[in-house]
C-alpha cells in the first residue's frame, strides 16, 4: 500500500476547506499539525508518526518538533512548538512520559486546540502515572485543549486524509468509523481490512480516555458526512450518563455497533439484595445498549460483517428476506438461519409467483427460498433476482450459489452486482459456497459492494442487523422520564437521616415501608413494637389478623430463624407471637439484639407477587428490575432491567412486557386482569426515588402484591421493602 502512495505534502497549507468538518475537526482535519518527538530513526515511534502523516497524503502544514534535528523528512524541524512562526491547530505528543507535561504546557501556550498523546506511562501503570494523567488533563482544561489518549496508537481520517498514528499501514477509504480501546486490536483490524476489502472513514485509538471518550467520537462520527456506520471496541464506558445521551441520539441516525469485552461474571460479587444478585457486572452494559439502541456485536466476526453490510447496503424497509439459490440444501440452511434470526421469509405476490412459474423449469421452487435448481445459469439468476427484488413483499435478498458445471460463477457475480445497481433500496448479500471455483467471483462481489460469505449464516446475521436498525429508526422515541409530584422528599430525607443517626445503613422494615409510602407506593401498614402489650395495641389499631416479623437489619432471612408469624387473629396470639419470635431469634442468633417486632397489616391473598428492585452500577447508575416476585424470584429469574435515569412510561411498559409476569397480570387461566397502569406507576415511583436519593445503594420491594382489577380497594400493596443507604 505504502509503496503506491505518493508523498504529497503541500507546504502551502490546505487546498480548500475540509468539507466534512465534524465537531472534533481539529483532530481529523487540522489545518496544521506539530509532531512533538518526531524522529529520523526508523523503528522509533516518532519516526513512524512523521512518515505516516506524510505518506497519508495530508495537505496541511506538518511541523516536526525535535530539539536535536534541523529538519526531518525534508521538513524544517523546530525545538518547540513555541518556535513555529504560524498557527498550529493540533499536536501529536510522542516524547517520554516525564517530558509530556512540559511539551503539553508549551502547546497550551501556543494556542493549540488538540493533543494526541501517544506516550504511555500514565494511569495504566498506576502510582505516579495516575497523578501525571490527572495533572495532564487539568493542564489541558486550563488551556481549553482537548486530548486523545494518553497511551494510544493515534488517530486517522482517510477522507482528509491524515494518519496521526504509529500503525503499520493506512486503511482504505470507506464509510466505517472505528473507535477502539485497544490499540493492538485496531492495528490488527487495519492489517486485516487491507486484505478484505473493508474501508474506513476514521480510526481512533482511545488509549486511557483521560479526556476524550468513546462518547465524543461517536458524536463526532455522527456528524461526519463520510461516516455511514459507527463501530467501537470498548472494555468499559467512561461517563455512563453522557454515553447514553449521545448513543441514544446518534443510534437513531446512524448504526452504532459495539463489541464490549469483559463480559465475565467473575466481578459480580455476592450481594444481599435479590436485584443485586440478579444484576451481573455486564448487565448494565446490556441494558444501556438496549435502551440507547446500540447494536451489540457478540463476536469480532459479527462486528465486522455488520459493519460491512451497513457500509455497503441500504437500510431495508422491513424484515422479509428472499433467498435465491441453485441448490436445495443450502437453501434450507439459509431458511433456518432466517427463522433463527427472527426474520421472515418473503411471501411473494401472485404476479411474482406467476412470472417465476412461467419462466423457470417445472422442477424449480418458486416460493421462498427460490430454488433455480442445479442447471441454473447466470441468466436464470438474473431473471429470478430481478423478479424477486421487484416484488413489494421482498425487503432484502440473499443470493446463494454452489458451483456447478453449467454455471459461469463470474458472470453470476456480475449479475448480482447489476441487481445491486438496479435496486438501490434493497439490501443484497451473497453466499458463494465454494473455494477454487468461487474465489474470483466472491472477490468481485466484495469489491463491488455486495458483502459475500462462504456460508449463508453470517449473511443472514448481517441482514438481521440491517433490519434491526430499520426497526429501531422507526420506533417512537422512548419519551420523557416519568416523574410524580405527589412524593414527600422531606419525609424520606428525615428517615434516612434518622437511620444514619442510629449508625445504621440498612433500614428497618417499618422505615423502608414508610419511604415507599412517601413516594406513593401503597404499603401494608406496619408498626414497630418493643413489648407484647404494644404489639397487641398495634394489632388492634391495624385490625386483626396481622403478620409479625422480627425487626432487625442484621437478619436477612427472618423465616429461617422463626422470626415471622402470619395470620395472628386474636390479642392472645399476638401477645404469644411477640414472645415466641424473640425467643426463637434469641435461640438461633444469641448475639443479635433485635429492635423489636414489627406488626403488619395482613393483606388478602389471591394476588400476583411481583418484585421491583434496584441495583447500582458504577458507570450507569441505578438499574431498575421488574419481574415475578415472592419466593420464586431466584428460581425463575423472570425479570427485566432498565436504567432508572432514562425510564419513560413506554420503557416501563416494555420492561413489563419482557417478563412472564405480564402474562399473569393480563389475566391468566381464568384470573381477571390486574391494573397494569398501577404497576407501571409503581415502577416509575421507585425509579424516581432512587434518582432523587443517590444514597440508596440497594432496594427490593418484594413481594409487591397486585390484585385482580377492582377486587381490592388498592390495586397493589408492597408487603416487604428493603432499603440500604450509603
| Closest approach of a copy of itself to the CB of residue 451, in Å | 15
Q: Which residue lies nearer to a copy of itself by CB, 182 or 292?
A: 182
Report d(CA 111, CA 114) in Å as an integer.
9
Query: Contact 65/36 with Cβ under 8 angstroms?
Result: yes
Of 188 and 422, CB closest to a copy of itself: 188
Q: φ and ψ at 562, to 5 degrees?
A: 70, 30
Q: Closer CB to a copy of itself, residue 253 or residue 666?
A: 666
Instruction: Give the C-alpha distances (Å, rounded to integers) separating 658 from 120, 661, 679, 682.
Output: 45, 9, 14, 17
Specify the length of the chain in residues.
726
Q: What is the per-residue DSSP string for 650-708?
A: HHHHHHHHTSTHHHHHTT-TTPPPB-HHHHHHHHHHHHHHHHH-TTEEEEEEEEEEEPB
Q: What minimum distance in Å lies between the beta carbon of 302 and a copy of itself?
A: 9
Beta strands in 433-563 (DSSP E): 452-453, 526-529, 546-551
CB 575 within 8 A of CB 536: yes
Complex with a copy of itself: residue 405 or 476, whichever CB lies closer: 405
Checking DSSP bridges between strand 564-568 and strand 61-65, what pairing results, if any? unpaired
Q: 224-236: b or e for each residue (b if 16 or more CB lie within 10 Å)?
A: bebbbbbbbbbee
Place of cell 447500582: 616
Q: Which residue, 301 or 351, is less far from a copy of itself as judged by CB?
A: 301
Q: Hey, which residues does 529 pair with through a beta bridge?
A: 597
Closer Cβ to a copy of itself, 186 or 536, answer by number: 186
Q: How far is the CB of 336 from a copy of itself (least distance, A)?
A: 5
Closest listed residue to residue 201, CA positions, set 68, 24, 343, 324: 24
In angstroms, what CA-CA distances link 168 with 95, 148, 178, 187, 256? 19, 19, 16, 7, 27
Judged by beta carbon, residue 400 or residue 690, the one nearer a copy of itself is: 400
Write down the least CB distance from residue 436 to a copy of itself, Å: 5
Query: Min. distance of Cβ 649 from a copy of itself in angstroms?
Result: 26
Sign for the CA dihedral angle at 548, 550, 555, 561 comes to negative
Q: Give every CB contact of residue 138 below 8 A, 6+ residues apart in sequence.
A: none
Q: Rounded to the nearest whole angstrom, what is the least distance from the CB of residue 605 to a copy of itself in the complex?
A: 13
Identity of the residue, 86 or 195, whose beta carbon is nearer to a copy of itself in the bound complex: 195
- Which H or E run includes 34? strand 32-36
d(CA 38, CA 15): 24
Q: Considering the complex, what minimum distance in angstroms separates the CB of residue 641 from a copy of itself?
A: 20
Q: How far is the CB of 598 from a copy of itself (least distance, A)?
A: 20
CB of 252 to a copy of itself, least distance (A): 28
- DSSP code string of 63-106: EEE-TT-SEETTEE-BSSGGG-SS---EEEE-S-HHHHHHHHHH
> Which grid cell sits at 112?
493549540
Specify the residue, 220 or 638, whose C-beta has the smaller distance to a copy of itself. 638
* Residue closer to a copy of itself (CB basis): 402 or 452: 402
Distance linking the first and last C-alpha atoms of the chain: 58
309 contacts 468 by C-beta, under 8 angstroms? no
Smallest distance from a copy of itself to CB 26, Å: 27
The cell 446518534 sits on which residue? 250
Measured CA to CA, the distance from residue 178 to residue 627 in angstroms comes to 37
Q: Min. distance of Cβ 476 from a copy of itself in angstroms?
A: 29
Minimum gap (Å) between residue 190 Cβ and a copy of itself:
8
* Secondary structure element (H or E) that encloses residue 385, with its range: helix 378-389
The nearer residue to a copy of itself, 374 or 390, going by C-beta atoms, is: 374
| Exposure string over 263-286, b if 16+ CB within 10 A, otherwise e | eeeeeeeebebbbbbbbbbbbbbe
Give the whole-angstrom CA distance, residue 507 versus residue 517. Answer: 14
7 vs 668, which CB is nearer to a copy of itself? 668
Q: Which is nearer to a copy of itself, 391 or 638 (CB)?
A: 638
Answer whether 512's CB lies under 8 Å from 495's CB: no
Shortest Å, Cβ 702 to a copy of itself: 13
> Residue 478, Cβ neighbours under 10 Å: how many?
18
CB of 536 to a copy of itself, least distance (A): 27
- Measured from the CB atom, the residue of 236 and 692 that comes closer to a copy of itself is 236
Q: How far is the CB of 575 from a copy of itself (least distance, A)?
A: 25
Q: Under a CB-based contact definition with an 8 Å cutoff, are residues 397 and 445 in contact? A: no
Q: Which is nearer to a copy of itself, 131 or 634 (CB)?
A: 634
Phi, psi (deg, nearest 5) at residue 224: -80, 120
Amino acid at each position: 500500500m505504502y509503496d503506491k502512495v505518493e508523498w504529497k505534502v503541500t507546504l502551502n497549507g490546505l487546498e480548500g476547506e475540509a468539507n466534512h468538518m465534524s465537531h472534533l475537526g481539529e483532530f481529523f482535519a487540522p489545518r496544521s499539525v506539530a509532531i512533538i518527538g518526531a524522529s529520523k530513526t526508523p523503528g522509533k515511534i516518532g519516526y513512524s508518526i512523521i512518515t505516516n502523516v506524510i505518506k497519508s497524503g495530508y495537505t496541511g502544514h506538518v511541523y516536526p518538533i525535535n530539539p536535536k534535528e534541523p529538519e526531518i523528512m525534508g521538513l524544517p524541524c523546530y525545538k518547540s512548538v513555541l518556535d513555529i512562526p504560524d498557527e498550529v491547530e493540533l499536536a501529536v505528543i510522542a516524547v517520554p512520559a516525564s517530558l509530556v507535561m512540559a511539551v503539553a504546557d508549551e502547546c497550551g501556550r501556543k494556542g493549540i486546540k488538540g493533543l494526541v498523546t501517544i506516550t504511555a506511562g500514565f494511569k495504566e501503570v498506576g502510582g505516579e502515572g495516575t497523578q501525571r494523567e490527572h495533572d495532564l488533563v487539568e493542564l489541558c482544561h486550563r488551556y481549553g485543549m482537548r486530548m486523545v489518549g494518553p497511551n494510544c496508537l493515534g488517530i486517522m481520517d482517510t477522507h482528509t486524509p491524515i494518519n496521526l498514528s504509529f500503525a503499520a499501514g493506512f486503511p482504505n477509504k470507506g464509510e466505517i468509523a472505528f473507535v477502539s480501546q485497544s490499540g493492538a486490536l485496531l492495528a490488527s483490524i487495519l492489517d486485516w481490512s487491507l486484505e478484505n476489502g473493508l474501508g474506513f472513514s476514521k480510526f481512533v485509538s482511545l488509549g486511557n480516555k483521560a479526556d476524550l471518550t468513546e462518547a465524543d467520537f461517536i458524536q463526532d462520527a455522527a456528524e461526519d458526512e463520510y461516516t455511514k456506520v459507527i463501530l467501537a471496541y470498548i472494555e468499559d464506558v467512561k461517563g455512563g450518563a453522557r454515553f447514553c445521551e449521545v448513543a441514544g441520539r446518534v443510534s437513531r441516525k446512524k448504526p452504532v455497533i459495539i463489541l464490549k469485552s469483559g463480559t465475565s461474571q467473575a466481578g459480580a460479587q455476592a450481594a444481599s439484595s435479590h436485584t443485586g444478585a440478579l444484576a451481573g457486572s455486564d448487565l448494565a452494559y446490556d441494558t444501556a445498549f438496549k435502551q440507547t439502541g446500540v447494536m451489540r456485536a457478540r463476536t469480532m466476526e459479527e462486528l465486522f460483517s455488520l459493519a460491512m453490510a451497513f457500509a455497503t447496503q441500504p437500510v431495508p424497509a422491513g424484515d422479509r428476506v428472499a433467498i435465491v439459490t441453485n441448490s436445495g440444501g443450502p437453501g434450507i440452511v439459509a431458511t433456518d438461519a432466517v427463522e433463527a434470526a427472527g426474520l421472515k421469509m418473503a411471501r411473494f405476490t401472485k404476479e411474482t409467483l406467476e412470472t417465476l412459474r412461467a419462466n423457470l423449469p417445472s422442477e424449480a421452487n418458486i416460493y421462498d427460498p427460490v430454488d433455480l435448481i442445479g442447471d441454473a445459469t447466470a441468466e436464470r439468476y438474473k431473471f429470478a433476482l430481478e423478479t424477486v427484488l421487484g416484488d413489494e413483499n421482498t425487503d432484502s435478498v440473499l443470493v446463494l450459489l454452489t458451483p456447478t458445471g453449467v454455471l459461469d460463477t463470474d458472470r453470476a457475480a456480475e449479475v448480482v452486482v447489476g441487481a445491486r445497481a438496479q435496486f438501490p433500496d434493497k439490501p443484497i448479500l451473497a453466499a458463494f459456497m465454494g473455494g477454487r471455483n468461487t474465489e474470483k467471483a466472491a472477490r468481485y462481489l466484495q469489491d463491488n459492494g455486495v458483502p459475500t460469505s462462504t456460508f449463508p449464516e453470517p449473511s443472514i446475521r448481517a441482514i438481521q442487523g440491517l433490519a434491526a436498525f430499520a426497526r429501531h429508526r422507526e420506533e417512537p422515541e422512548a419519551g420523557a422520564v416519568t416523574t410524580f409530584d405527589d412524593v414527600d422528599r422531606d419525609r424520606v430525607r428525615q428517615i434516612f437521616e434518622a437511620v444514619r443517626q442510629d449508625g445504621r445503613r440498612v433500614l428497618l422494615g417499618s422505615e423502608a415501608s414508610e419511604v415507599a409510602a412517601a413516594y406513593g407506593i401503597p404499603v401494608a401498614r406496619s408498626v414497630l413494637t418493643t413489648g407484647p402489650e404494644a404489639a397487641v395495641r398495634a394489632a388492634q389499631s391495624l385490625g386483626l389478623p396481622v403478620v409479625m416479623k422480627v425487626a432487625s437489619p442484621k437478619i436477612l432471612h427472618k423465616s429461617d430463624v422463626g422470626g415471622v408469624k402470619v395470620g395472628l387473629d386474636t390479642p392472645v396470639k399476638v401477645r404469644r407471637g411477640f414472645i415466641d419470635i424473640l425467643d426463637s431469634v434469641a435461640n438461633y442468633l444469641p448475639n443479635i439484639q433485635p429492635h423489636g417486632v414489627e406488626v403488619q397489616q395482613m393483606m388478602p391473598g389471591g394476588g400476583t407477587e411481583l418484585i421491583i428492585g434496584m441495583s447500582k452500577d458504577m458507570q450507569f447508575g441505578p438499574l431498575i428490575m421488574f419481574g415475578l416476585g415472592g419466593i420464586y424470584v431466584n428460581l425463575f429469574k423472570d425479570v427485566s432491567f432498565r436504567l432508572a435515569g432514562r425510564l419513560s412510561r413506554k420503557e416501563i411498559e416494555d420492561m413489563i412486557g419482557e417478563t412472564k409476569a405480564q402474562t399473569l397480570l393480563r389475566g391468566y387461566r381464568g384470573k381477571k386482569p390486574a391494573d397494569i397502569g398501577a404497576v407501571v406507576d409503581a415502577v416509575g415511583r421507585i425509579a424516581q426515588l432512587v434518582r432523587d436519593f443517590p444514597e440508596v445503594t440497594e432496594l427490593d420491594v418484594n413481594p409487591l402484591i397486585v390484585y385482580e382489577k377492582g377486587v381490592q380497594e388498592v390495586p397493589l400493596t408492597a408487603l416487604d421493602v428493603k432499603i440500604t443507604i450509603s
